[in-house]
Structure 1
Amino acid sequence: MKVSPIQGAQSVSRTLQVLRAIAGQLGRGVSLAYITHQTELTKPTVHRLLQALMAEGMVDRSEEEGYFLGPECYALGVIADQRYGLSRIASTPVKRIAEECGDSAFFSLRSEWHSICLIREDGNYPIKTHVLQPGTRLPLGVGGGGIAMLAALDDDEIERCLDANAEECATRFPHDQRSDLLPRVAECRALGYGINRGSVVSGSWGVGAVVRDEADRVIGSLSIAAIDSRLQPDRQQQFGPLLVREAKALESKIQQAQRTRR
């Protein structure tokens, strides 16, 4: 039977939904029921897609822990990084920020209406916040870097983003609803950097600045996170502008790399 282009595209979309559902659990195994709930696909459809993905090495399965991203996903990620090089380019400023502030610094990448943490560097201050780890996937607007990315979108995009993430935020992030996020967007636009005052985990605060490409599109953010006593207004005012400067410098390096590839 010949598959129509529309049916083929639908299959690709569903396959990516399954992979994103697995990836969203930060390396922890997930069940078939979890994937079905996250994707809103039927159980037989999810099972069929998982079997195909496992055959290609894109998904792995443990009897005890469930489904994981497979080795082929890692291989493709390494290859993609050779082209985009964001991990390599961003690692130096992230390390520099962590050394200067003494707390944890991050580079997160925008993925449509979400962000994915790519890099974490810890400073020398002994008390850490562990909310954000490499691989953590969050709705845009959640966390300091997420606020910065959301605020950098135009108003129509913000509305689409909030609509797309409404159910997830209602379930997982009760302090990051539309009524919470819109004032943070306004504050970020006024200051130039986003501030998270413990909305994800009480006592874990963050500050973030947006990173754009040469077409002025939002591609990610630089951010720091610390216990609340370490990010009171004096340090917000110190490190917010620092993040903005580092983000601008990183944008220049990314744009230079993009021009070189052309």
Structure 2
Amino acid sequence: MTTPSGAPERSVVDRTLSILGVFDRDNRTLTLSDISRRSGLPVATVHRIVNKLHGWGALERGEEGGYSIGLRLWETATLAPRYSGLAEAAQSHLVELHGQSGGAAVLALRDGTESVCLTFLSNEPCLAAHWGDPGCRLPLHVTATGLVLLANAEVGVQDDICASPLRAYTAATITNGTTLRNHLSKIRREGYAMVCGTLREGRGAIAAPVRNARGTVVASVGVVGPPNMLQASRLAPMVMATAEAVSQQDRTEGWRMARVGA
């Protein structure tokens, strides 16, 4: 491949990551031509790297010739400490919250300026498309779980987001930086976040923080449901108790693993 004068040549790692990065929730299966177009790499380069990824199991090839993320890459990703420990610690508590509340139970963590869904339990499959596919990313200002994470993030992160343009998903989405900052203060004061119709009309959520042994917020637990279900007097204590239970479970598991490794 000829590199334009003055342009640094991309390393094999950079090109490989570019290929993996073209897959997203709306583009789960892609042809070689699709991958080439979306990554900006020549088809010959894509073909060579894709063959390597396919051989290792990072990509799988369908009957019609398209490629998708492979099972081995997914298995590797589940080893991420922030995913595996939290998801395992939270699972039984989320099942209980889902049953008690009658709404969808969700666990999310922060990655930069976005929330990433780790677990989503719901009897409504359509909800997952908006909130809960594992790995689903959303801006922090849009959901209750995201607002909890933002309210407890570093001041610099809060300042950057409040000063940036805030995308409106519905008429109820907070899009004013000052309003958002005031809302974050309220969340820290009350210990939970409650929103209605900010991501999708006819749905809202209540969420509370999950903390590690040092008191740092590492994730958030929430319940998603219709507005008539979101009674703060009933659900907020329930969600906060679940978040605390997950916090305690995560601390216990962390202590146990530390003892095993000692």
Within 5 Å, which residues of 2 pair with 1:138-157? 138-157=138-157
Q: Post-superposition shift, 1:99?
A: 1.4
Structure 2 counterpart of 1:97, one-letter code: L
What's 1:56 paired with?
Answer: 56
Q: 1:86 to 1:127 in 2, by over 3 A?
A: closer
Kindly tell me the number of residue pairs found equivalent between the two proteins: 244
TM-score normalised over the length of structure 2? 0.72
SS at match of 1:159: helix
Structure showing greater radius of gyration is 2
Unaligned 5+ residue runs, structure 2? 1-7
What's 1:255 paired with?
Answer: 251
SS at match of 2:238: helix
What's 2:205 paired with?
Answer: 206
Unaligned 5+ residue runs, structure 1? 1-6
Identity of aligned residues (%): 20
TM-score normalised over the length of structure 1? 0.72
Within 5 Å, which residues of 2 pair with 1:1-262? 19=20, 22=23, 24-25=24-25, 28-29=28-29, 42-44=40-42, 47=46, 51=50, 53-60=53-60, 62=62, 67-80=67-80, 84-122=84-122, 129-130=127-128, 131-135=130-134, 136-160=136-160, 170=167, 175=173, 177=175, 179=177, 181-231=180-230, 235-262=231-258
* TM-superposition CA deviations, 1:101-141 (whole Å, max 9, x none): 11111112333332222222237xx8984432232222223
Structure 1 counterpart of 2:221, one-letter code: L
Q: Post-superposition shift, 1:20?
A: 5.4
Structure 1 counterpart of 2:71, one-letter code: P
Structure 1 counterpart of 2:224, one-letter code: A
Contact 1:50 1:59 in 2 (8 A): no
Counterparts of 1:154 and 1:101, CA distance in 2: 31
Contact 2:202 2:226 in 1 (8 A): yes
Q: 1:192 to 1:202 in 2, by over 3 A?
A: same
Counterparts of 2:198 and 2:82, CA distance in 1: 35
SS at match of 2:93: helix
Q: 1:242 to 1:18 in 2, by over 3 A?
A: farther
Contact 1:209 1:243 in 2 (8 A): yes
